[in-house]
Structure 1
C-alpha cells in the first residue's frame, strides 16, 4: 500500500535541519509549510526585501507545480510579514502572479516578528484536479 501523503520539495530550499517538508499533497489538496525567501544559490535569506518576496513567490509556484498543478490551483494564501511597509512588495508580486481581478486566491496578511532575517513567510493551500 502506497503512502497517502506525497512530500513536495523545492530544490535547494529547506527548513535547515528541521524535519519539515516544504509541502505535502494529500489527494487533490496541497499544503505548504512556511515558505521563506531563501536563495537556493547562496543558501541565505537575502537582505534585499524585494528579492526575499520574489523568492518566496517563486518557491510557492515551485511547490504547486512540483505537486502537479499550477498557480491557477492555489485557493488560499496567508502572508506573515515582519512589517506593514513590505505590503507593496507583496502586492506587486501578487498582481504579477494573479493578474486578473476576478481570478485570484483568497488571501490574508498578518504583521508579526519573523526570525533569521526574514521579512516574509507564506502559507499556501491549493486544490489540484
Structure 2
C-alpha cells in the first residue's frame, strides 16, 4: 500500500487542460513531472498568435503549473523544450535567462526541433521538479 507522501496526485491548471485523459502534471511525493505545456492563454485556451507571444505565455504557464503543484520555478530540475524551428532557441534563451537569472542556479534543459507540434504551435515543454517539501 502506498504511503500518503508517495500517493500519486494529478495536477490540473484551469485553462491548460489537455485534450487527452491526462492531467497537466503529476506529483508523487516531492517529484513533479508535467505533460506538454504550450503557449496557450489559459483564459481563452487559444495559442498566442506568434512565436514570441507563445514563448512568453509558455513561461507564464510554467509558473502556473509549479504553483498548482505546490512549488515554484526554483524547484525545477530540468525542462525539455520542443520548438518548431531551431531559430526560436534564441527566444527561449531570453525567457530562460529572465526566469533563471542566476547562471549558477539554473535547471538542466534540452531544446530540440519538433515536427510533431500541433498546427500553429511554435514551442512546448515538459518539466521535472523536486519540491522542497510535500504540500497538499
TM-score, length-scaled by structure 2? 0.88
User: Structure 1 stretches of 5 or more lacking a match?
Assistant: none
Runs (4 or more) in structure 1 with deviation over 4 Å come to: none
Query: By how many angstroms is 1:91 displaced?
Result: 0.7
**Counterpart for residue 78 of structure 1:** 80
User: Structure 2 stretches of 5 or more lacking a match?
Assistant: none
C-alpha RMSD of matched pairs (Å):
1.5
Contact 2:15–2:44 at 8 Å: present in 1 too?
no
58, 61, 64: which is aligned to 1:59? 61
* Number of corresponding residues: 128
**Counterpart for residue 43 of structure 1:** 45
Q: Output the CA distance in 2 between the equivalents of 1:121 and 1:99.
A: 21
14, 17, 24: which is aligned to 2:17? 14
Show CA shifts across 1:82-113 (max 9, x none). 10111111011101100011010001111011
TM-score, length-scaled by structure 1? 0.92
My pick for the range that moved more, 107-116 or 96-105, is 107-116
